[in-house]
Amino acid sequence: MPGADAPAAAHEAQPGGAVGFESFLSRVGALLMGRRSYEVVRGLGGSWPYGDRPVLVATHRPLQPIVSQVRAVDGEIAQLVAQARDAAGNRDIYIDGGNLIRQALDAELVDELIVTLVPVLLGDGYPLFAGVRQRHQLEFVRHQRYGSDLLQVALRPAKKS
């Protein structure tokens, strides 16, 4: 999971509209993503966006990896995060997928959340934080505007007293 003290340079806008993604990804050693998120990335076509990083896909169903770095994993969230940490070495892990993020938040396994706000109401979709089992107090770490259309906010779960 991204460290709370990431340098400001990690949030520079990238060519092609990837808001700081390449700089962010340079700190990531492995990804843990849900099956739906994997299918979305897989369906985008083009080159594989995660390079040679291990990508662990949480799924109960058979998985046909599109690159050799992808593998299916199954288990409780703490086990999945531990596997991702092992695969990441001493680098951050990136959790992608609403269900996995909610589970990791509830298990207190998230160091930082990075949320990019786009001023468009879709009217449908999957709410990111609906379904968390407990209240989570968050602290603002930093924010960055990209033009007039995007606001990226980094949040850290508050320490419990």
Does 1 have pLDDT greater than 60?
no
Residue 35: predicted pLDDT? 96
Residue 161: predicted pLDDT? 66
Does 40 have pLDDT greater than 50?
yes
Confidence class for position 33, pLDDT limits 50, 70, 90: very high
The count of other CB atoms within 10 Å of the CB of residue 43 is 7
Confidence class for position 124, pLDDT limits 50, 70, 90: confident
- Among 24-33, 56-65, 119-128, the range scoring the smallest mean pLDDT is 119-128
Residue 123: predicted pLDDT? 82
Does 133 have pLDDT greater than 70?
yes
pLDDT in tens, 13-27: 443 445 677 888 999
- The answer to whether 20 and 14 are in contact (CB under 8 A) is yes
Residue 19: predicted pLDDT? 62
Burial class (CB in 10 A: 0-12, 13-18, 19+), 32: buried
Instruction: Quote the CA–CA distance of 68 and 22 in Å, as a whole number.
Output: 21
Higher pLDDT among residues 45 and 70, named by residue:
70
